[in-house]
Structure 1
């Protein structure tokens, strides 16, 4: 009884630790949001204990309620599968039987063979000086108990539906206990093997193959109902009741638990470190900057007459010129090949549609053009390159953070980005003129002018946007992390707008006018904001 108290006390302590970490993290991120940060100052991190405890308590209650929901999902899935199988076999397939065969046999196998510690668990063990071996042993048993507790509502509901509540509870409880302990004991031994990962994967494949093959065989030979009656019965409940006892003994008396614990921590720390250093968002937000190659070029002396931040920016773009031009070449060649194919096809199969209808089709192409130019833009690549190879180091120096230097640097970078994006836009527009020329000026002069302004405004937008949010939010830290939630939100919204543009099936002159107008307005307002705000916000974050 004392052991059980310790188990639940340890779990309660860990849940409180997670909830408190969540409350602190919430205050920290709210404090970094512009405007809102003034209402929620970072001093709340160490002052508002009552409020933090309230938020932590709500988080704790929410996590417990979510656990009941999460463990109830397998029963919902089993319900739908049982209905499908009942239709195929023309007999009533038990929900409990489906749950046993899928989520107990296969699901528990996967969970128990591949356990790992969360980053917060390792922090909890370290901060509270909990015995590693003791924690692993107890938390593994506690996980089994929690699985049973959180599954009880689902088992009761299934029992009510199938009118056998007691049998459902007995089979469900003892089958969870038995399968969890069986696979836990197997995992203890497999984890100490040299080729542990390969053996575990092969074991899972074998179990899944056997389970699915058995199911297919039973359905094919009309034996499913007989096997179900044997499994979902008092005999099945008795077998599950007796099965867990020897495996509990084997688990508790496992002699190499210290070796297992050490291997568990090594594997978990490697996994955490790997995921931390290879986060998708870090790769997405800074991956391009790390790939760019800095090359010393012969004409560096051309920029030697410049001084301060002007010299650094000019030198940086000069030394990245080869990499940028290579990327530009790939984009231009790709666009040219696609457009050449369209032009050749239009010559081989002349367009016989009326010019008005062709023009209408071309208007419908403009939303696609928004997404294409967004994908091909150099904005994100330039920003990442600037931070990784220049700003992450130079923002530590006062001269680099002067208002004049920041604003001048922004305009220089914008013009360079606009140059590369402008080549892409110009290539598209030239091929449009070639297409129109070989098809006997199929499209009117008015449309050609409108199309030109759309490409120009979008080129300005995509050259400006990434630099704008970079200077206003400066989301990157000195150790190349991205911890600004607003930056991620803005980036996600902008991508969503680009994606939504693909879903627009019909567009007219009004679309071109709105897109061009908003782009130019955003650019003009943004320039004013940059001049006024960027010198205050463009700083190195720790």
Structure 2
């Protein structure tokens, strides 16, 4: 197994080193000084591989520290004036449990995750699927424990937890992930279902888990989840289940079908057509009903020329990709609005209290608008059905600013429609729950926030697409700058929610940032997109 693990790590480090060199070449000033000959320089490649390995280890510690610190510890610490230290610790364990046990147990499982190195090792290098899975799972969770333990010890100690408790929780978290790996494998072998590819289930768990994790901070309520997590019998049960799952996974010898299912889409080198066919069945699938005689007729686009004509054809012939997500979001908003109205009539006093404090809930719109925005899905559809072939031509890249403006107008219109419905529902619910005249100023600020955020995220998704162009021919987002940029936006959103800013200042900041982002996009896309907007 050690030889297998060494080969897999060499493969990963080599791939990471090549990717590091590639993206360093794309940096301003520095990139011009890095020649393509570096790929063939064995000595430099070895140095780059060592650096890449050290960087991956450093990132492991940093990522877990940022996760525990910014996502869990900081929100709890921000409630310092309202909660005692033991209450903060209970909330810390509550949030950690929901995020690291419940959400991660569904959405962050590696057993059936498509990976390039999995395809290369098993399909191309003919490594045994069983040996590959045993080695990678062993390394994954050994590294997970090593990376998580220092962060958990440091931040939990600042809230009064003993070092022993931190060690026990870190071990229990690792063992629980093994239980989840076994459960996902069991579900796949019984039903053929790859749970992590069911986006509806995954996102319901993520959104429900996030709401349950952070709601106590807003309600100043201390749930018993945290106390239950560090309970001795519970820890013993998790340890027993985890050890049993680890033994079962290590002794299991029929991983071939699981690896085969996970690597079906990771075949970019030998069977690109199959990759695209698989991708077309999911997020970028079109329907025959989109191609009616009316949409196929050029008469429907008379008066349009150039890129306006091209984009008009695209949006007309891919209606299911463009408008179905909008309809689903509107349906969800309608259902949630009806449920909120019902709750208002059942819990009149609590609803009036929430309506009176509507302004302090405005930062939550950051997360809400991020998930309601349809920009990311439209960018994927644009890449697969339009840009994938056209980006190979320099004239199309040079005209990036022109089709950026055309597409932004379309995406902005859809997101403003969703934002308008959201604002209308919030206005109705708040007016029924409280006095409209009292909540008028909060409702005005809410409308400004909702519309500004729809502009912000419309620009954000399309700007990120043009400047970073993260999608490979496999429809995977692998550009590290794109991932870091989105991660920073997410972290800022989480931190802002926990800071509880003044509603007026928050609204002014959101409006100003949206206008500034729009201006920066119009300035930067013409300058950089002709060079960055290309097929990777």
Shorter-chain TM-score range: 0.5 to 0.7
> Residues 454-469 of structure 1: matches in 2 within 5 Å?
454-469=449-464
Tell me which residue corresponds to 2:468.
473
What is the deviation of 1:313?
Answer: 0.4
Tell me which residue corresponds to 1:538.
533
2:509 pairs with 1:511:
no
> Residues 57-96 of structure 1: matches in 2 within 5 Å?
none
Equivalent residue for 2:334, pick from 336, 346, 349: 336
Q: Which deviates more, 54-63 or 317-326? A: 54-63
Tell me which residue corresponds to 1:291.
285
C-alpha contact 2:360 2:503 (8 A) present in aligned 1: yes
What is the deviation of 1:410?
Answer: 1.1
CA distance in 2 between counterparts of 1:45 and 1:60 reads 17
CA distance in 1 between counterparts of 2:5 and 2:405 reads 55
CA distance in 1 between counterparts of 2:491 and 2:280 reads 20
CA distance in 1 between counterparts of 2:48 and 2:460 reads 36
> Residues 21-100 of structure 1: matches in 2 within 5 Å?
23-47=17-41, 49-56=42-49
2:377 pairs with 1:381:
yes
Q: Alignment partner of 1:476: what SS?
A: coil
What is the deviation of 1:307?
Answer: 2.5
> Residues 366-445 of structure 1: matches in 2 within 5 Å?
366-403=362-399, 406-438=400-432, 439-445=434-440
Tell me which residue corresponds to 2:264.
274
CA distance in 1 between counterparts of 2:379 and 2:398 reads 19
CA distance in 1 between counterparts of 2:476 and 2:379 reads 14
C-alpha contact 1:14 1:124 (8 A) present in aligned 2: no
CA distance in 1 between counterparts of 2:472 and 2:522 reads 24
> Residues 119-134 of structure 1: matches in 2 within 5 Å?
none
Equivalent residue for 2:311, pick from 310, 313, 319: 313
CA distance in 2 between counterparts of 1:447 and 1:268 reads 52
Say if 1:123 and 1:507 are closer, same or farther in 2 by CA, change over 3 A.
Answer: same
C-alpha contact 2:375 2:457 (8 A) present in aligned 1: yes
What is the deviation of 1:124?
Answer: 9.4
CA distance in 2 between counterparts of 1:398 and 1:14 reads 38
2:517 pairs with 1:522:
yes
Tell me which residue corresponds to 2:302.
304
CA distance in 2 between counterparts of 1:33 and 1:407 reads 21
CA distance in 1 between counterparts of 2:280 and 2:26 reads 21
1:311-366 alpha-carbon deviations (Å, 9 max, x no partner): 11011111223453333222222212322333344356545998xx7666112221
What is the deviation of 1:424?
Answer: 1.1
Say if 1:505 and 1:398 are closer, same or farther in 2 by CA, change over 3 A.
Answer: closer
1:494-513 alpha-carbon deviations (Å, 9 max, x no partner): 33334445545565322222
CA distance in 1 between counterparts of 2:55 and 2:523 reads 45
Q: Rg larger in 1 or in 2?
A: 1
Aligned residues: 353
Say if 1:10 and 1:361 are closer, same or farther in 2 by CA, change over 3 A.
Answer: closer
Unaligned runs of 5+ in 1: 1-6, 65-116, 127-131, 151-196, 199-218, 220-262
Say if 1:525 and 1:479 are closer, same or farther in 2 by CA, change over 3 A.
Answer: same
RMSD between aligned alpha carbons? Answer: 4.8
1:191-219 alpha-carbon deviations (Å, 9 max, x no partner): xxxxxx89xxxxxxxxxxxxxxxxxxxx9
Tell me which residue corresponds to 2:179.
none
CA distance in 2 between counterparts of 1:361 and 1:125 reads 60
CA distance in 1 between counterparts of 2:460 and 2:393 reads 26
1:79-117 alpha-carbon deviations (Å, 9 max, x no partner): xxxxxxxxxxxxxxxxxxxxxxxxxxxxxxxxxxxxxx9
Q: Alignment partner of 1:276: what SS?
A: coil
CA distance in 1 between counterparts of 2:342 and 2:53 reads 65
C-alpha contact 1:287 1:384 (8 A) present in aligned 2: no
C-alpha contact 1:414 1:467 (8 A) present in aligned 2: yes
> Residues 338-377 of structure 1: matches in 2 within 5 Å?
338-347=336-345, 350-351=348-349, 361-377=357-373
What is the deviation of 1:531?
Answer: 2.7
Q: Alignment partner of 2:534: what SS?
A: coil
Q: Alignment partner of 2:506: what SS?
A: helix
C-alpha contact 2:370 2:457 (8 A) present in aligned 1: yes
CA distance in 2 between counterparts of 1:273 and 1:374 reads 30
What is the deviation of 1:426?
Answer: 0.7
CA distance in 2 between counterparts of 1:539 and 1:122 reads 30
Say if 1:347 and 1:53 are closer, same or farther in 2 by CA, change over 3 A.
Answer: closer
C-alpha contact 2:469 2:532 (8 A) present in aligned 1: yes
CA distance in 2 between counterparts of 1:320 and 1:14 reads 41
| Greater relative contact order (Cα < 8 A, sep 6+) | 2
C-alpha contact 1:309 1:400 (8 A) present in aligned 2: no
CA distance in 2 between counterparts of 1:387 and 1:21 reads 24
Tell me which residue corresponds to 2:489.
494
C-alpha contact 1:303 1:315 (8 A) present in aligned 2: yes
What is the deviation of 1:447?
Answer: 2.8
Equivalent residue for 1:448, pick from 436, 439, 443: 443
What is the deviation of 1:391?
Answer: 0.8
1:21-54 alpha-carbon deviations (Å, 9 max, x no partner): 554443234334455433444332224x433333
Q: Alignment partner of 1:290: what SS?
A: coil
C-alpha contact 1:289 1:389 (8 A) present in aligned 2: no
CA distance in 2 between counterparts of 1:348 and 1:22 reads 56
1:4-30 alpha-carbon deviations (Å, 9 max, x no partner): xxx999998998777655544432343
CA distance in 2 between counterparts of 1:388 and 1:442 reads 49
Q: Alignment partner of 1:291: what SS?
A: coil
